[in-house]
Structure 1
Amino acid sequence: MSLNEVVSWKESFFKDDFNVDISLSKFTLKSDLETLKRDLKSYGTELQQQMTEILKNETEAIVNLAEYLTNLNAKIEHLSLPFFQLREEIMALLKLIKTAEMSYKMMLYGIKNNNTNKNNLNLKLGAISSSVYIDKMLKSSADSFEDIISLEHIVAKYSFQRSYMDELNIITTDMKDIMPTVALWKAVSQCFHEDIYLDQLADQFVKLSMLTLSRYLKWCETTLQSNFSTHQSTEQFIMNCLIDFSIVEKFMCPAIETPADINNTVYKILDSSVVILVPKIVKANLKSITNVLNLMKSSLVKMKVEEICYQLQHVEAIPRLYRRTNRSIPKEASPYMVEAVKPITTFHSAFQNVISHKSTEILNDIILQVTKQYLELVQGVLRSVCKTEESLRRLKSRNVTTEEISPQLDSGSDEKKIREQIKLDVAYFLNKLQPLGSIESRQIMDVLKKETH
């Protein structure tokens, strides 16, 4: 073969469509098999020599690259700890900023409420003083008025004062003595009073009683959605409603197991032809009350959980308090934990003896949700501490001298302090809430306890 044919033959080995049979056919057309064998052996030797030259020239570069990559990995791990600590400090700073922002908003909200309450109080005092003066004038003898026009002015002013106070939702004992629950009881009792009730209009009286109950529950729901000045006033309103609901249930939807139990309801006056519908009426009333009751309970639980978890989030600041600060080993729970637990213990003390069943349900829901969120927070902090410890161990294993790493690694005891503080906080949390929690919440508390041991 010519030189060009030999070059073309060698290049054919590297083509994607190379085929052994086709290559042999082309070669044997011009040469015999012995020549082919000799050429292939010669070409193999040539390729081997080229590979040897490549390895000889590139080995030094590959070795240098490997050494450089090894050193680079050590440098990256050496720099990882400062960056990790910087990230932790930035997260702590972000937490502080968010806390300050929330505190600022709460302060502005408190100032706004204080100004509103102050203005309402001044208006209330002025309106009450005017109303008392006008009441005295109206009750005095008609002869004391010079003419009928002055009397009309006084009556008009009196009406204006009352309507204005009603618009501002300012309620005084002088103007509104009847509580909604008492008003409901009186209205329903009158519907089925023997001097008022008529058998011919039984269905209308039943509808009227159910409509009155619906209006009462709507008032409770609407009032709940209004802006109370403090969490304490919201809690007091909800618990008062729950107490009143227990009273309403007794006279409008008690448990009916036998026909004789109907005599314990306001529907005992119904005719025998209608009395068979009483269980359905009671069931409908109970359903309406239960819906609003659940809304009240969920609102209270949500409010309490947010209030408590706001304090519990301070656990994320514990590493920042003990790392490189030379603080002594903690011996008691953090102040935030004392404040976090206080709303639960206060609630239990205030309402446990009033409506024990409903308050226990609410308390269980609060403790369960709070324990779950606190467990997640503690696990997150402990994971962060473990990552820091792991970074320290890696840095030590790279043969770095103690003098080089001492400014950053003088925190071996700091990690112990962090864990000890979390352990004390968890112990305080469990000591206060475990006796009050349900079985489910206690199981989560057991997991929380294991995390710190």
Structure 2
Amino acid sequence: MSSARDLFSLPAGPADLCFDKNEFMKKTFSVDEFLHENRNAGSLENIRDDLGLYLKVLRSAMIELINQDYADFVDLSANLIGLDQQIGEIDAPLQKLKQEMLTVKGALEGTMKDISDCLEQKKALRAYKKSLQSLAKVQAALVKLKSLLKPVDEKQDEINPTLLERAALESIQLQFNLKYCSEFLDEEQKQSADHWKGSLLTQLKTYFLNMLEKKDLDGLERCLRIYCTLDECHIAEEVFKTEIVTPYMSRVVSESSLQNSPQGLTGIYNQILDFISLNMKSLLSLTKKNGKVKGYKFVINSFWTEVERRMETNMSSIFAPGNPDSFYSKYKCTLEFLERIELILEDPVEINCFKTHSQYKSFQVRWNLPVYFQIRFQEIGSNLEKACTREIDAVKFSTQQISVSQFNLLQFSIVLTCISNCWQDGIYLPQLFHRFLKLTLQLLSRTMTWIDNVVALNPIAPQDSGQEQSLRLKLLATLFSDITNLSKKIPQIVSLILDKSPTNLELASPQLDELFFDNRSALTTKLNRLQTLIVQELVQNSAPYIKQVSDIPRLYRKTNRDVPRRCCQYMEQLIQPSRSFRENYSSLVGDERLKDFLANVYGSLTTSYYNAVEEVLMSVQKTEESLRRLKSLRDRNFTTAAASSNSTTAMTDDDKIRLQLQVDVIYYVQEIERIGLARGEIEKLNELERLVEEATKIRIGSGSQSIAQS
């Protein structure tokens, strides 16, 4: 914006203009915006007049500018006179120069094309010459091969390895030159080249087999080197496979051999591995990692390929997973067999080639591990499923002795047995680690579902309601104990799985703990749920006796009963369910949990008990006040008043009611403290004590405690 203003500065206008002249230089100038900004400067008529004045100023400035530069305009027009004629004079020479350059360019292109054609002809001649030279070398090589191999054809028993080496070199030269003169060869020459190469390989095969039979390491080494020279190592491997491995394996690997072997499949594998020590010792000593000859893989390409093919075709019965125990033993035996082959290979590179070989993968696939696992899944899972669908016998359960250290319900023992079976020898395979881990989690999950069903459906339902409540409470306590024991077993299960995990998996304990986190949380939730249910059962068994608090006034009104010194019978009945639970099941739930149970039970009971006592005291107070008002209305004389004052010194029926409530509360508090609970742990307990104290105007001391104890 600043540069534009410098180039095109506007002339100054009158000082009393109602707008800023620089606004016209803005790139974003807008008429609407201009009028909007200057609407307060004056009326539209004033803006119009000021714009007219400034327009006159601009016109004057434009005329002055033209007058200043008029001389330059005139000079420019004078200098342009005759410019067209000058341009025309220059055009003709330039056109001529252009034509000459095009002519030179054409000549150069023609010359370059002639040179390129000559170079191509020279290149073709050179290739033709090279082909003729190669053809001559091919002919010479054929003649030399004929002279080297012909004596051997006549005397097969005398194979000279030196001649074979020379023939191999000539054969390499022959194959090399054949590539450059194939278009000049006739059919007879091609057949001759193939014939002599085949003759060389035939004699080399004979020599190779002779050296293997004689176990001549030096001769065998020379033979293998000749094969390497010819780049035909695979032919040596195929010869060994066809002539040596196949006859042996056809006798050893068969269904009849498997049936007649005293050691079964293990015996067959031992015979197969014996072949290596009997027939491949010399080859392996030469071709191993530190051997003298490189490039051979006799164990993989000759031995293993034939063994695997024979096992798939002649011993297919070993792959049948119908009998899981038999399948397991055969598969474990096979894994040991493969590991022994890997020990023979030694070199990690060769071991990797062995494991990535197509026939190795095919052999592994033939072992139908998913079907084997499915059979084991049905065996293990069905045991737990049968136990979970079995109803709990009320008679047996009622007479069953409860154990703290062991599972009391059959289902928990079975799930632990099933989990142990998943990882025991004879069932677990490292190749199925993830499946057995999932099965373990499924077994725990099925147990959780069974627990929920047992708690919800209450499978024990005898006719007697009292016995039903007792058995229900026993079932809940037993479930609580067994779930606690099962949760303690989970770290052992995690440790077992870690021990059984494959070494290549590198599984850490925190990872397994995370997998079992949901099960641990579910077990904790189940324990809390059972605690709530047990508390509810105990409260339901005790709560009805709290209603008997309202019967206390009827015991003392107009009955002339003695001053209360013992708690009422309902108090024993109120406390008895919790006392029985503590005596019978404290070892099952544990001391800490038992205190939590009883704290919740007495917390709920105390609240109800407080309300009942408060209601009775309020009723007694209202009755007492009503009687007092009634007496005051009937008799207002001094004698009656004196008699009344004298009578208040004796303990009334209402006082006996209040004292009985206090004796009951004292006994109730003593029972809570006898359990080991503090008064502050029980909601409303302190309020209950204060309530009866204020009602009786007697502090709970040694005297009242002795009354309660008596």
If the length of structure 1 is used for normalisation, what is the TM-score? 0.54
Residue 322 of structure 1 deviates from its aligned partner by 1.4
Paired AA for residue 621 in structure 2 = C
Matches within 5 A, 1:49-448: 170=393, 179-224=410-455, 225-226=457-458, 227-229=460-462, 230-253=468-491, 263=495, 266-271=497-502, 272-275=505-508, 276-354=510-588, 355-398=590-633, 400=635, 413-436=652-675, 437-438=677-678, 440-442=680-682, 444-448=684-688
Tell me: higher relative CO, structure 1 or 2? Use CA pairs within 8 A at least 6 residues apart.
Answer: 1
Deviations 1:97-152 (A, max 9, x none): xxxxxxxxxxxxxxxxxxxxxxxxxxxxxxxxxxxxxxxxxxxxxxxxxxxxxxxx
In 2: Cα distance, 1:301 partner to 1:169 partner: 23
More displaced, 298-307 or 346-355? 346-355
The more displaced of 335-344 and 350-359 is 350-359
The code of the aligned residue for 1:379 comes to E
SS at match of 1:426: helix
Q: Aligned-pair distance for 1:172?
A: 8.8
Inter-CA distance 349–328: structure 2 relative to 1 (3 Å threshold):
same
SS in 1 for 2:633: coil
Equivalent residue runs for 1:37-48 within 5 Å: none
The aligned amino acid for 1:435 is: R
Task: Give how far 1:438 is off.
Answer: 4.8
Q: Secondary structure at the match of 1:398?
A: helix
Identity %: 23
Deviations 1:22-58 (A, max 9, x none): xxxxxxxxxxxxxxxxxxxxxxxxxxxxxxxxxxxxx
1:452 match: secondary structure = helix
Q: Structure 1 residues 425 and 337 mapped into 2: Cα distance closer, same or farther (>3 Å)?
A: same
Whether 1:450 aligns to 2:690 is yes
| Amino acid corresponding to residue 506 of structure 2 in structure 1 | S
Taking the TM superposition and a 5 Å limit, the aligned residue runs for 1:19-38 are none
Counterpart residue number, 1:127: none
Residues 47-105 of structure 1 show CA distances to partners (whole Å, capped at 9, x for unaligned) of: xxxxxxxxxxxxxxxxxxxxxxxxxxxxxxxxxxxxxxxxxxxxxxxxxxxxxxxxxxx
Label 1:246 to 1:273 Cα distance change in 2 as closer, same or farther (>3 A).
Answer: same
Amino acid at match of 1:311: Y
Runs of 5+ unmatched residues, structure 1 = 1-162, 255-260
CA apart distance, 1:315:
0.5
Unaligned runs of 5+ in 2: 1-385, 397-407, 463-467, 694-710
Shift of 1:442: 4.3
Partners of 2:480 and 2:391 lie apart in 1 by 26
Is the 8 Å Cα contact of residues 364 and 438 (structure 1) preserved in structure 2?
Answer: no
Shift in Å at residue 349 of structure 1?
Answer: 2.0
TM-score by length of 2: 0.36
Q: Using a 3 Å threshold, how does the CA distance of structure 1 residues 397 and 361 change in structure 2: closer, same or farther?
A: same
Read off the aligned partner of 2:557 and give its amino acid letter.
R
Task: Tell me which amino acid in the other structure corresponds to 2:485.
Answer: I
Q: 2 CA distance for matches of 1:213 and 1:352?
A: 27
Contact 1:371–1:441 (CA under 8 A) maintained in structure 2: no
Measured in 2, the distance between the counterparts of 1:291 and 1:266 equals 24
Provide the C-alpha distance between the structure 2 equivalents of 1:313 and 1:200, rounded to a whole number of angstroms: 66
Whichever of the two has the greater Rg, that structure is: 2
Shift of 1:358: 2.5
Compared with structure 1, are the counterparts of its residues 236 and 309 closer, same or farther at alpha carbon in structure 2 (3 Å cutoff)?
A: same
Change over 3 Å in CA distance of 1:356–1:269 after alignment to 2: farther
In structure 1, the residue corresponding to 2:506 is in which secondary structure?
A: helix
Q: 1:372 to 1:434 in 2, by over 3 A?
A: farther
Aligned AA (2:528): N
- 1:311/1:336 contact within 8 Å kept: yes
1:288 to partner: Cα distance? 1.3
Distance 2:667 2:394 in 1: 43
Against the structure 1 CA distance between its residues 267 and 190, is the aligned structure 2 distance closer, same or farther, given a 3 Å change threshold?
Answer: farther
Q: Secondary structure at the match of 1:327?
A: coil
Shift of residue 439, structure 1, vs aligned partner:
5.4
Contact 1:333 1:421 in 2 (8 A): yes
